[in-house]
């Protein structure tokens, strides 16, 4: 009897920051991606918003999808050996909630960078209630792993002694093994764990501020109706003469929290497509590389603190949301124009940026093309 691989729960933020792939034994033994919190991921399960779907097929049938959670986005590739997944993906309208079980894959171009993606095994449409539950469950499990990694780092123990300690603390032997690997592989782990904790807290806080947000149990169709019902409030738009250029601010093209790139993570420092200047030109022609587009964009100036919804004043989110609706002539709204317009309404760059992120992570807006936003 071969034991089935567990479907780990990891956030996209952690998944895309994983670059340690290993496999033990012969060619038939499974591959594992070890994440910074020690998850030994062969299989994973996640629920998020499908924001992009492209047929890459030049001759062969290959679908690429991006599925966003509140912390980032998973790249999903379905090819000829996943005919059901391909059929399923090709029949979906973006955006929608999807639940995916799949295998962790990596792509390693010659420069030593590692990109992670998912090869789907089973997919289904989901709803906000399933998605919210996934966020809570994943946050809980990730938080537990963070605690275990921290205790491993603080313990000063090594090898079997460390494994014993972790198992005593409630880790499964597999997780304990993953944590040992993570601790010895990842540099600056402490910093990353802090960042990840912050990202998780933000994701959870988004769930707790549920104004205007469909209550659990309602399906996606209901959510969409609600969005459709909300009327644009034109009186919110005020004239502000502020001048705005895209280079000055974070375009917020990705629901990921800001990641300053002045001192990029060592393993990623050579990532060719990572631009700190003009995210709009970040576009790769390589299918496997295409996932880089739109990811990890930064102006390199703003504080790295991820945007938080301001519970007292939800107006910026709503203003941006309304503007997005008003300005959309059918093809979405270019980010630059949206930012300009929002600033005329009295918002700051940071507020616009935060609002867009919040809206994205709540699944209320998405990015049909790079640099263009659209309401759900």
Partner 1 sequence: MEVKIAPHVDEIIRALGTTGTTVNQAIIKEELTRLLEFKVPVEEAKRSLLKKYGNIDIPSVKKLSELGAGERNIEVTARILEINTKVVGIKEQERTIFMGTMVDETGARSFTAWEDFGLEKGDVVKVTNAYVRMWQGMPEINFGARSKVEKLDSSALEPLLSKDLERPVLLAELKEGEPAVHTVIRIMESAQQEINTKNGPRTIVTGTAIDSTAKLPFTSWVPSPELTAGNTVEIKNAYMRSWQGIPTINMGEFTSVSHSETPIDDSDIVMVMDHVPIRLDKITDRDGAFDVSIEGNIISVRPGSGLITRCPECNRVIQKNICRVHGLVKGRNDMRIKYILDDGTGALTVVLGADLTQKVTGYSIEKAREIAGADMNLSVVEEKIRGKLMGLSMRMRGNMTKGEYGITLVASDVEVTEINPAAAAADLVKEMEGAIHHSPGQGDSGPW
Q: What track of x and - describes contact with partner 1 for positions 286 through 305 (by CB under 8 A)?
A: -----------------xxx
Closest by alpha carbon to 49, among 84, 99, 104, 122? 99
Q: Which is nearer to partner 1, 79 or 147 (CB)?
A: 147
Q: Please, which residue, 205 or 344, has the CB nearer to partner 1?
A: 205
Provide long-range contacts, Cβ within 8 A and 24+ apart, for 266-271: 266/187, 267/19, 267/112, 267/113, 267/114, 268/19, 268/113, 270/111, 270/112, 270/113, 271/111, 271/113, 271/296
Asked if residue 364 binds partner 1 (CB under 8 A), the reply is no
For residue 162 the two structure tokens come to 């460390």
Interface with partner 1, residue 139, by CB under 8 A: yes
89 binds partner 1 (CB under 8 A): no
d(CA 358, CA 349): 14
259 near partner 1 (CB under 8 A): yes
Question: Which one, 264 or 287, has the nearer CB to partner 1?
Answer: 264
Q: For residues 206 and 363, is the Cβ–Cβ distance under 8 A?
A: no
217 scored as a contact of partner 1 (CB under 8 A): yes
What is the Cα–Cα distance from 46 to 100, expressed in whole angstroms? 5
Q: Check binding of 358 to partner 1 (CB under 8 A).
A: no
> How many chain residues bind partner 1 (CB under 8 A)?
65
Shortest spacing between CB 54 and partner 1, in angstroms: 24
Q: Which among 341, 307, 310 has a CA at the least distance from the CA of 324?
A: 341
Q: Which two tokens stand for residue 367?
A: 């990015």
Q: Which of 72, 178, 279, 306 binds partner 1 (CB under 8 A)?
A: 306
CA distance 206 to 329: 29
Candidates 17, 64, 364, 375; binder of partner 1 (CB under 8 A) is 17
Q: How far apart are CA 264 and CA 334, in angstroms?
A: 28
Contact 76, 100 (CB under 8 A): yes
Query: Which of 357, 349, 344 is CA-nearest to residue 317?
Result: 357
Q: Establish if 151 lies at the interface with partner 1 (CB under 8 A).
A: no
Least Å distance between CB 188 and partner 1? 6
List 57, 109, 198, 368, residue binding partner 1 (CB under 8 A): 198
Confirm or reject binding of residue 153 to partner 1 (CB under 8 A). no
Considering only the stretches 52-60, 188-196, 326-334, 367-375, report the one whose residues sit in contact with partner 1 under the rule CB under 8 A.
188-196
DSSP state of 224: H
* Tokens at 174, concatenated: 């597999």
Question: Which residue, 197 or 284, is less far from partner 1 as judged by CB?
Answer: 197
Q: Which residues bind partner 1 (CB under 8 A)?
A: 1-9, 17, 45, 47, 99, 101, 121-126, 129-130, 132-141, 143, 147, 172, 174-175, 188, 191-192, 194-195, 197-202, 204-205, 207-208, 210, 216-217, 259-260, 263-266, 303-306
């Amino acid at each position: 009897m071969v034991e089935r691989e567990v479907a780990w729960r990891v956030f996209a933020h952690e998944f895309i920051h994983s670059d340690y792939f290993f496999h033990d034994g012969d060619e038939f033994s499974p591959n594992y991606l070890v994440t910074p919190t020690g998850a030994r991921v062969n299989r994973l399960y996640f629920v998020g918003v499908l924001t992009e779907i492209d047929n890459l097929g030049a001759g062969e049938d290959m679908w690429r999808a991006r599925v966003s959670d509140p912390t980032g986005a998973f790249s999903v590739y379905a090819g000829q050996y996943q005919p059901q997944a391909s059929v399923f993906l090709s029949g979906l309208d973006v955006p929608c909630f999807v639940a995916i079980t799949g295998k962790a894959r990596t792509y390693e171009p010659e420069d030593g960078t590692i990109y992670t993606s998912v090869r789907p095994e089973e997919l289904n449409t989901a709803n906000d209630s399933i998605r919210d539950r996934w966020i809570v469950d994943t946050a809980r499990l990730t938080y537990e792993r963070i605690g275990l990694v921290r205790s491993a780092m603080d313990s000063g123990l090594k090898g079997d002694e460390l494994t014993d300690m972790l198992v005593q603390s409630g880790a499964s032997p597999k997780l304990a093994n993953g944590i040992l690997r993570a601790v010895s592989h990842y540099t600056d782990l402490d910093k990353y764990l802090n960042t990840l904790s912050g990202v998780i807290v933000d994701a959870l806080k988004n769930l707790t501020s549920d104004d205007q947000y469909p209550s659990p149990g309602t399906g996606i169709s209901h959510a969409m109706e609600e969005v459709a019902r909300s009327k644009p409030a034109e009186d919110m738009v005020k004239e502000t003469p502020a001048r705005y250029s895209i280079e000055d601010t974070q375009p917020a093209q990705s629901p990921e929290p800001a990641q300053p790139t002045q001192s990029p993570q060592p393993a990623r420092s050579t990532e060719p497509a990572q631009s700190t200047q003009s995210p709009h030109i970040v576009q790769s022609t390589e299918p496997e590389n295409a996932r880089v587009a739109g990811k990890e964009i930064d102006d390199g100036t703003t504080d790295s603190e991820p945007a938080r919804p301001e519970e007292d004043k939800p107006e910026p989110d709503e203003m941006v949301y309304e503007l997005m609706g008003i300005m959309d002539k059918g093809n979405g709204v270019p980010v630059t124009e949206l930012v300009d317009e929002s600033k005329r309404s009295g918002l700051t760059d940071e507020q616009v940026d935060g609002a867009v992120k919040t809206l994205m992570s709540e699944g209320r807006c998405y990015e049909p093309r790079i640099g263009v936003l659209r309401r759900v």
